[in-house]
Chain A
Amino acid sequence: MATARIGLLFSTTGPYSALGRSALDGALMAVAEVNARNGLTLVPVCADPRGVPADYERLAAELLGRGDLRHIVGGITSWSRKDMIPVMERHGALLWYPCPYEGFECNDHVVYLGACPNQHLVPLIDHVLRKGHRRAFLVGSNYVWGWETLRVAREWFAGGQGGEVTSERYLPLGDTDCGHLIEEIAAQQPDLIVNSLIGPSSHAFMQALSRLDLPGGRPLVISANQTEADLDILGPAADGMLSIGAWFETLDDLSTVAFRNRIAGHYGASYRASCNFATAYTAVHLLARGLERAGHDDPRAVFEAVAGSPEDTVLGPVTIDPVTRHTSLIPRLAMAESGRFRIVDDPKIALAPDPYLARVRAPVPPRATPNLRIVS
């Protein structure tokens, strides 16, 4: 096929606009690269839901209602993805979702390109447990990403490894009032904070935490959703935060070096790319490959054309599982230092997706057998 319209639905304004802008930049750069090849021409149709949940559903319906496009790359939060899915189903369309999420979903109208918990939170928590962290304070945004990632964290810490959850707290999406959280942390003095806050909530929390002076030093902060897009806003408050992601701009392999150079050529040498950028970029390139191989934009044919076998991408060689529709990814650990991520661990090998955590089990907590009987 010569030309295909694709929808790009990211919130480039609103509460988590930094993440949306980063993803949109990645998607648009991939569009430019595909179009420069003089084969398939992608015509991006952009829409900005401004971080308003209801606008995702409305704008997805508007894009698909035009009748001339059947693929949307977009969505940052799980809330937005779940709101778009019924629209995708009604139109027989395909959503290319480029962000890490909490798992426990396999919809036939979605390609899940971001990591699910066996590729982010589980290896991250295994790492800190190995390092001896035991007392965890859990904090997240009050929607499904926060609830489910912290549920996994709670199960892993409460398991038989001597861990303890000191508190589990939630902030409404976009809320920046976190004084009570800091007071609680000061009182409980955990040695670890699992941060599943997103956008301004996370920024306010990290800033407030950086001002907290504890005798034992600041607890280690870990997160499965903090990227380079957050570092600029966080500044020194991010220092020492351990993040896990499928891509960091400071990776030193040849593919990333070449990709960084292309990004610099496209957006300037000072541009900061993130995991969302690289994944949205990958989504558009995979979509283009699918369109070229299928020869038309039928979502099922396009999906089948790219699923099931390894594809070379900037994230490394990845395979989209044809059944779960999730992607194998390399889980990389990185520590924020002076505005950059220093790679702590790059296993080089992609981890197969396990969106229902069927192959990893939460440690089972030791259970005391009750020795009582009520006689009636």
Chain B
Amino acid sequence: MTSRLDLNFAGRRAVVLHPAESVRAELIARLAALGVEASADWPASAAVSAADFLFVDVDMGHDDQIPWEPGTAPIPLIGLVRSESPGRLAWALGQNCDAFLSQAALGLVYSTLVIAAAKSAERLRVRRREAETARRAGMRDVLVRAVLAIMQAEGVDELAALRQLRAFAMVERLALEDAAARYLNDRRGRRAGTTR
């Protein structure tokens, strides 16, 4: 991870989903000292959709409370650990919590925010990269067609055609597959122009 660490959370919003009023109040006060505006609710909160961080009680938490598919939190998700029962820990891990905070150590909330923000950013970066890899993998046929078209048009072999396509992608600052699509599209345009 080479990106700069997120160390200042002033102005961010957090939601705490926890049934115990004392835990909610203490966490809200500690977050306020860090400049984080927090609200708390149980079992669910409409404020989650506008939150930058979500804290959820691992003991009582369940999927229906959280408005996304398990494991795909779009924001840093922090599990508040009380008991250590394996089933609850499995639920929290299934939610892909970015960090955990023991309810006995709420004074450590700052380090938890730093870790959760960094892990969440990394998780979202990996997810975007995977989506991009899948998209490009789905364009293999386009790549093959573009290489064949260049071979035909320029009278070169497949390696030279691929090199030419790479150079085009570099100049246009496109992924190789997108450059292939652009090439085929442009060629169609040129053909259409010549037949008119």
Taking beta carbons and an 8 Å cutoff, which residues of A are in contact with B? 104, 106-108, 321, 323-324, 355-359, 361-362, 373, 375-376
- Distance A107 CA – B106 CA, assembled complex (angstroms): 9
Measured between C-beta atoms, what is the minimum distance from B104 to chain A in Å? 10
Q: Is the C-beta of B115 less than 8 angstroms from some C-beta in chain A?
A: no
Interface class of chain A by DSSP: loop
Q: Is the C-beta of B176 less than 8 angstroms from some C-beta in chain A?
A: yes
Q: Is the C-beta of B20 less than 8 angstroms from some C-beta in chain A?
A: no
The answer to whether B29 and A323 have CB atoms under 8 Å apart is yes
The answer to whether B29 and A375 have CB atoms under 8 Å apart is no
The answer to whether B32 and A357 have CB atoms under 8 Å apart is no
Q: Which residues of A contact B107 (CB under 8 A)?
A: 106-108
The answer to whether A106 and B8 have CB atoms under 8 Å apart is no
4 A-B pairs closest in CB distance: A358-B35, A373-B173, A375-B169, A358-B34
The answer to whether A376 and B176 have CB atoms under 8 Å apart is yes
Measured between C-beta atoms, what is the minimum distance from A126 to chain B in Å? 17
Q: Which residues of A contact B9 (CB under 8 A)?
A: 358
**What per-residue 1/0 map shows which CB atoms of B32-70 lie under 8 Å from chain A?**
111100000000000000000000000000000000000
The answer to whether B166 and A375 have CB atoms under 8 Å apart is yes
Contact of B170 among A104, A321, A375 (CB under 8 A): A375
- Distance A106 CA – B108 CA, assembled complex (angstroms): 8
List 15 additional A-B contacts (Cβ < 8 Å) besides A324-B33, A375-B169: A104-B110, A106-B30, A108-B107, A323-B30, A356-B34, A358-B8, A358-B34, A373-B170, A373-B173, A375-B166, A375-B174, A375-B175, A375-B176, A375-B179, A376-B176
Measured between C-beta atoms, what is the minimum distance from B99 to chain A in Å? 16
Within 8 A of A (CB), among B91-128: 107, 110
Closest to A110 in B: B107
Q: Which residues of B contact A107 (CB under 8 A)?
A: 107
Q: Is the C-beta of B10 less than 8 angstroms from some C-beta in chain A?
A: yes
Which residue, A323, A359, A361, A362, has most C-beta atoms of chain B within 10 A?
A: A323
- Distance A108 CA – B29 CA, assembled complex (angstroms): 13
Measured between C-beta atoms, what is the minimum distance from B8 to chain A in Å? 6
Asked, given contacts A361-B8, A375-B174, whether A323 binds B110 with beta carbons under 8 Å apart, the answer is no
Q: Which residues of A contact B179 (CB under 8 A)?
A: 375
- Distance A358 CA – B9 CA, assembled complex (angstroms): 7
The answer to whether A358 and B33 have CB atoms under 8 Å apart is yes
Q: Which residues of B contact A362 (CB under 8 A)?
A: 8
The answer to whether A106 and B173 have CB atoms under 8 Å apart is no
The answer to whether A356 and B110 have CB atoms under 8 Å apart is yes
**What per-residue 1/0 map shows which CB atoms of B1-36 lie under 8 Å from chain A?**
000000111100000000000000000011011110
- Distance A104 CA – B113 CA, assembled complex (angstroms): 13
- Distance A359 CA – B174 CA, assembled complex (angstroms): 41
The answer to whether A359 and B35 have CB atoms under 8 Å apart is yes
Q: Which residues of A contact B169 (CB under 8 A)?
A: 375
- Distance A321 CA – B29 CA, assembled complex (angstroms): 11
Within 8 A of A (CB), among B103-159: 107, 110
The answer to whether A106 and B174 have CB atoms under 8 Å apart is no
- Distance A355 CA – B35 CA, assembled complex (angstroms): 11
